[in-house]
């Protein structure tokens, strides 16, 4: 028999078990002008990194992660 209090609920397993999902990331809703700038930057270089990404993010009022 299982001692009282040692049962793990199904919900607890889903939240903390080995297959627990990460919470969904909130998608950024880019403005049309931000999209245009991002698309132009992507056309020039598919990997915007370093100082260029930092500058682009700053000029668009976005985080570097959002520009990634």
Check residue 26 and give its pLDDT: 82
Q: Is the pLDDT of residue 49 over 80?
A: yes
Supply angle C-alpha 39, 44, 49, rounded to 5: 85
Check residue 36 and give its pLDDT: 94
Q: What is the pLDDT of residues 27-45, one digit of tens each?
A: 888 999 999 999 999 898 8
Q: What are phi and psi of 64, to 5 degrees?
A: -60, -35
CATH fold, domain 28-67, is: Arc Repressor Mutant, subunit A (1.10.10)
Check residue 20 and give its pLDDT: 67
Domain definitions of the chain by residue range? 28-67
Share the mean pLDDT of the chain: 80
The residue to which tokens 């002008």 are assigned: 33
Q: What is the pLDDT of residues 19-31, one digit of tens each?
A: 667 788 788 889 9
């Amino acid at each position: 028999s299982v001692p009282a209090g040692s049962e793990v609920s199904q919900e607890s397993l889903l939240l903390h078990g080995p297959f627990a999902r990460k919470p969904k990331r909130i998608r950024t809703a880019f403005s049309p002008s931000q999209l245009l700038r991002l698309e132009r930057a992507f056309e020039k270089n598919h990997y915007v990194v370093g100082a260029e990404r930092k500058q682009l993010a700053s000029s668009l009022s976005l985080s570097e992660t959002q520009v990634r």
